[in-house]
Chains A and B, each alone.
Chain A
Amino acid sequence: MPGIMLLAYKLLANDRTKFTALIVGITFAVFLMVQMTSMFAGVLSRSSATVYNIGAAVWVMDPAVQTVANTIPLPDAVLDQVRSIPGVKFAEPVYSGGGLVKLGDGTYQAVTILGLDDTTLFGRPTMIAGNIQDIYGENGFVAVVDSEFAKLGNPEVGTEFEINDHRARIVGLAQVASNGLFGVPALYTTYSRALQYLPNARFTISYVLVEPKSAADIPAIRAAVARAGYVALGRDDFVDQISDFYAYKTGIGMNLMMMTAIAFIVGLSISGQTFYTFILENLEKFGALKAIGMTSRELVLMILFQAGFVSLTGYGLGTGLCALMIWIARWRLPDYAALITGTNLLLALGMVVVIAGVSSWFGVRRVLRIEPFDIFRG
């Protein structure tokens, strides 16, 4: 470390009270910012769990659908229409609905039931026990082993229970990429069995899953579906639509955004005020350094280094603390929804840079204004 930077570090770090206040302030702010945005990212990620887990490239749905959980059934004719669009390699229906499982001890547990096309089982999960072919067997269901799995009493292959007063049998266990948002276990079965077990309206298809011949065909498929009065969304577009719904059409996004803003303001206030006080207390000393021969540019560099050092240290501690807290929370609550993403970290880093910038800006202004003559004059 160059001597001037080491000098800047010692001037700051040796003032333990202010140094600690600065680090704690920024750590706390970063912790809150990352925690809030991670919770939001966790909620958004889980809200699109079905989209990730099914894995279809294009989803055809009613235009009024806003989230994957709130389906609006499509007429069977839509499936045929979509299959007839040039560029469609294949299209299969999927059923998504909710049922009630009566467990062995007589209690009821809500579940999400996904009915896969009987012929292709398109969108099937990755099996970890049993054989997917057994799903065709009598009353066959595949249970997803995720954080909600225990709510079904940790069933094994061969376990039987009732779903909506129909006998059901676990023929396999599977894993999926993402857990759901609503804290209910998921079961896979065939499309026809799902219709048989769950009460239905006149139309039954939740979504038509499309595999295009190539990615270049997707715009044409979307246009053709739109002409038919429906919407075709790519996987990422569907995820974005769901995210936008939770971000802007529910209170979740606004509340978390406000908490993040409050954390930012708290961090800015604490660190800004503390750092400015530090500069003020050392103003005469900075003036003395100017008199001795330090240039204004070097003084500004020292202050920026000090602000940058406490900010990045606080950033590291804050993100580490957040990761630790999420780890502990998941240890105690397996379905705790929080996800530290690169975007979260970059957002928090950006806010920390703003905090450092604003804090140092006020200090730099004062230091640039101090004249060595003022030191002489006393």
Chain B
Amino acid sequence: MTDTPVPSVAISVEAIDKGFGEGDTYTRAVSGVSFTALHGEMLFIVGPSGSGKTTMLSMVSGILRPDAGRVLIEGTDIWALPADDLARFRLHRIGFVFQDFHLFPRLTTAENVAIPLIVQRRDWDEALVEARRFLDIVGLGHRADVVPVKLSGGEQQRVAIARALIARPDILVLDEPTASLDGDTGRTIIRFVRDHVLSATRCILIITHDARIYEFADRILTMEDGRVTAITTAPPHPSVQQGSGS
């Protein structure tokens, strides 16, 4: 008899709160959210527009300080870190794929992908070589020297994924990765992430309201009015699927 290894906890979120505004304009965006995400897991965060998905994921990924609660990534309380250390933590441990990609239009795709390594003070040429390797992985090695505007939406998405992966982060955060793609391309991208990006040492968090890709999730965390209403392994209730975005 062989033991199946138990996935370790990648992210532990403990009762985080976040509000915006003051006085009469104060709005609580996230309230008492707690959950854990495991290595080797693809966790989808879904919910209607304004449910607090983006705010919650921003706190989890170290770019928005919670008003209360803790976020532990592989045991490190990230919000206890000084600002520069937190930036370095994100640089080395967390990869981001933004909804609008945010690729630099004046840089080639290889240079865009190399950015995290360049920020890590790696040699420019060495970073470009590595970037070409990651472009090969996402199937865009032949497009390394063109600028992003010459790429299709799906190709730009893959460049953004390559950029998020190049620093070999433990945590990968994708914000609405299929929002600007057609259905087939969106599914192809998520399947690629599932098959080639996810690993036993990596945890992937995806904000989405695209029900067509729910099948790729290991678990689905549903939010409503700033709270977690369900964590399921099955597609959530159809009412959630009608959410209009983050």
Residues of A within 8 A of B (CB): 2-4, 6-7, 10-11, 14-15, 282, 284-285, 287-298, 371-373, 375-378
A293 to B116, Cβ gap below 8 A? Answer: yes
In the complex the two chains form, is A373's CB within 8 Å of B99's CB?
A: no
Contact across chains for A373 and B106 when beta carbons are under 8 A apart: no
Find A298's partner among B100, B107, B119 (CB 8 Å cutoff): B119
Is B111 in contact with chain A by the CB < 8 A criterion? yes
B22: interface (CB < 8 Å): no
Report the Cα distance A320→B234, complex, angstroms.
71
Q: Which of A2, A6, A14, A298 is within 8 Å of B106, CB to CB? A: A14
Extra A-B contacts (5), CB below 8 Å, given A11-B106, A284-B100, A373-B55: A2-B121, A10-B107, A293-B94, A373-B64, A378-B246
Question: In the bound complex, how far is the Cα of B123 from the Cα of A371, in angstroms?
Answer: 28
Complex alpha-carbon distance, A2 and B124, angstroms: 8
| In the complex, number of A-B residue pairs with CB atoms less than 8 Å apart | 93
**Interface-centre pick from B94, B96, B100 (highest chain A CB count, 10 A):** B96
Are B87 and A294 in touch, CB under 8 angstroms?
yes
Q: A291-B90, A294-B91, A376-B58 are contacts. A7–B63 as well, Cβ < 8 Å?
A: no
Closest Cβ of chain B: how far from A134's Cβ, in Å? 72
> Among A10, A284, A287, which residue has the most Cβ atoms of chain B within 10 A?
A10
Q: Contact at B90–A7, with CB atoms within 8 Å? A: no
Q: How large is the interface on B (under 10, 10 to 19, 20 to 34, 35 or more residues)?
A: 35 or more
B102 touches A288 (CB 8 A): yes
Q: How far is the CB of B123 from chain A (nearest CB, A)?
A: 7
The answer to whether A292 touches B57 (Cβ under 8 A) is: no
Name the A residues within 8 Å of B57 (CB-CB). 376
Closest A residue to B94 using CB positions: A293
Least Cβ–Cβ distance between A36 and chain B, in angstroms: 36
Q: Tell me the B residues contacting A by CB distance below 8 Å.
A: 54-55, 57-58, 63-64, 83-84, 87-92, 94, 96, 98-100, 102, 104, 106-107, 111, 115-119, 121-124, 127, 175, 246
Q: Is the CB of A3 within 8 A of B107?
A: no
Which residue of the partner chain, among A14, A290, A371, contacts B87 with CB atoms under 8 Å? A290
* Minimum Cβ distance to chain B for residue A22 (Å): 14
Inter-subunit contact B104/A376 (CB<8 Å):
no
In the assembled complex, how far is the CB of residue B109 from the closest CB belonging to chain A, in whole angstroms?
13
Q: Which residues on A sit within 8 Å (CB–CB) of B118?
A: 3-4, 6-7
Determine whether the beta carbon of B111 is less than 8 Å from that of A292: no
Instruction: For the complex of A and B, list the 9 residue pairs with the smallest distance between their C-beta atoms, beginning with the closest.
Output: A293-B91, A14-B106, A288-B102, A372-B63, A3-B118, A293-B90, A373-B64, A3-B124, A295-B87
Please determine whether A375 and B119 come into contact, CB atoms closer than 8 angstroms. no
Provide a sorted-by-A list of 27 A–B residue pairs whose CB atoms are within 8 angstroms: A3-B117, A3-B118, A3-B127, A4-B118, A6-B118, A6-B124, A7-B107, A7-B111, A10-B107, A15-B106, A285-B102, A288-B102, A290-B63, A291-B90, A291-B96, A292-B116, A292-B119, A293-B91, A293-B94, A294-B87, A295-B87, A298-B119, A371-B63, A371-B64, A372-B64, A376-B98, A376-B175
